[in-house]
Amino acid sequence: MANLSIRTKVFIWLSLFLAISDALFVWINYRAEQTRFQNHLEQRAQYLQDLFTVELGNTSLRMQQMATFIASMPEVQQAFYQGRVAVESEGGGAGGARASQARAHLLQLINAPWQELRDHFDTRQLHFQFGSNATSFLRVHATDRFGDKLEGVRHTIFDAIRDQGATAGFECGKVICGIRGVAPVFHSQTGGINHDFIGVIEAGTSFRSLLELIEKPSQAKFAVLLSMSHLSQIYFPDRLVALAKDNPPINGNMIESTAHAEVRDLLTTSQIDELVKHSGTIWIKVGERHMAFTAFPLRDYLGERDLHREPVGTVLAWMDVEDDIKQLRRDLAINIAYALAAFFIIETLLFFALRKATFSMEKMISTQTAVLREMAVHDELTGLYNRHYLGEFLEKEYAIASRHERTFSVAIMDLDHFKNINDEHGHLFGDQVLAETANLIMSRLRASDLAFRFGGEEFLLVFADTHIHEAGIICESLRQQLESQVIGGLARGKVTASFGVTQMANKAEPLDTLLGRADLALYQAKNNGRNRVEQVLLTS
């Protein structure tokens, strides 16, 4: 290079520097996009776990309500009471002839409501137990199994008998695992055994209906896996052998529930096997498609009360992210194209256009980033802000309110009986209802208020520098306007909403607590008949 001019040397060195810089820029940007994508998947994974946990609690409560319904029937109380007396007079356990007659009588009484629970409420198990050892008197779903003691195995039942109160949660028994609800049964006459307390009734269901409910709004697929080590400690040995024959375990786990046959092949891959063992979120290529997987622990009734206990299984969720990966690649190609274009432009203009070209490129990238961010924080269907932006916005609003000693209110708005609209008219019609509802919200709120799509048919409204009573008035006005409008072509009053309103309490209160209080107010609105506004303030 000794014979080259200074201009040429500068040109070569600048060219080399620019080439390296462009390559580094593309690589860093691509890595940043991958990191953002991974963060998005992890946020999505948390949403799926929260959705599963909430629906598990709802299902447990529904089973508890079914058990309470059966326990309130006088004829069932009398028949169960007679059965317990017969068993105890015949030596306990399965009892003898009198116990058998009482069991048959109770089964006859329960047959009609049992069929109703199965057909309309997806109840899969109904079980009667009594005594300090939780003796099984009648499994309506498995009538050949009775007389065994469930103490030390079925803690939902044992705790309900011990405390003479209701319990609920997921738990495995000697015959089947399920989402359980247990209710006490009391004898309607005085002078009954154990101070009129007879025993308990347990209603249970599988994960099937739960998974169906959460797969639709989440657009993900789910599988519930149970640990063979846990099942081997609980199940009747012959039951476990028969079950393993029909449903062979994979890497120490048995598939408890899923609607997707491909899960067996997925579980045999080393990456998914490791994910199931350690939990987390990954994305890999499966066949010709890229898929995102997340796994989180499944805890039973005892595990929910003692987080130090080992999980009894794992929940695996996955979704297709091929379009997202293609977008990453398109972004990479665009970045490369921009880098090459910038390189040749800068090479041509050299010193004179270097600053201008750099400025132009930065402005272009900034504009694209702003556009992408704007797309990322809005819900595609309704145009409202989405849930990903909610946390960021609330943190800022919380900080502003705390710093200036102001307050703000939030409201969760939930369309009443929206599932019925989807079921009767289809999901496209439901989407139209959601979109028109969002338009109504935006047209009625104040300029300082913000609206978010919080879930499937849920919206979250944020009222800056607004006390709860003023926010309640705004929500009541919005509720009345919605009720009086023709939404999606439905008659006035066909589309209504329930509102749960609360207010920021103090600087130290976590945001999750604030949202939880709004959700409690919404639950009260639903519980009090829907199409209403309920307010809940933090009480000290």
Q: Catalytic site residues?
A: 457
> Going by C-beta distance under 8 Å and a sequence separation of 6 or more, which residues neighbour residue 364?
338
Amino acid at 426: G
Q: Determine the Cα–Cα distance for residues 254 and 231; give it in Å rounded to an integer.
A: 9
Q: Which of 74, 65, 64, 68 is nearest to 187 (CA)?
A: 74
467 token code pair: 């006390």
322 token code pair: 């091929």
Q: Is the dihedral of CA 373, 478, 461, 215 positive or negative?
A: negative
Q: Determine the Cα–Cα distance for residues 12 and 19; give it in Å rounded to an integer.
A: 10
Contact 156, 202 (CB under 8 A): yes
Give the alpha-carbon dihedral of 34, 38, 41, 46, to 10 degrees: -160
For 500, the 3-state DSSP assignment is: strand
Q: Is the dihedral of CA 373, 378, 379, 382 positive or negative?
A: negative
Q: Determine the Cα–Cα distance for residues 263 and 255; give it in Å rounded to an integer.
A: 9
Q: Which of 125, 83, 85 is nearest to 102 (CA)?
A: 83
Write the DSSP assignment of 269-280 as a string of letters: SHHHHHHHHH-E
At which residue do the structure tokens 């009986």 appear? 417
> Going by C-beta distance under 8 Å and a sequence separation of 6 or more, which residues neighbour residue 60?
168, 169, 170, 179, 180, 181
Write the DSSP assignment of 446-462 as a string of letters: -TT-EEEE-SSSEEEEE
Q: How many CB atoms lie within 10 A of CB 284?
A: 15
Report H helices in 74-96.
Answer: 74-89
> Going by C-beta distance under 8 Å and a sequence separation of 6 or more, which residues neighbour residue 305?
none
**C-alpha distances in angstroms, 118 versus 110, 226, 258, 360, 491?**
12, 24, 19, 67, 34
Q: What is the DSSP letter of 310?
A: P
Rounded to 5 degrees, φ, ψ at 40 are: -60, -45
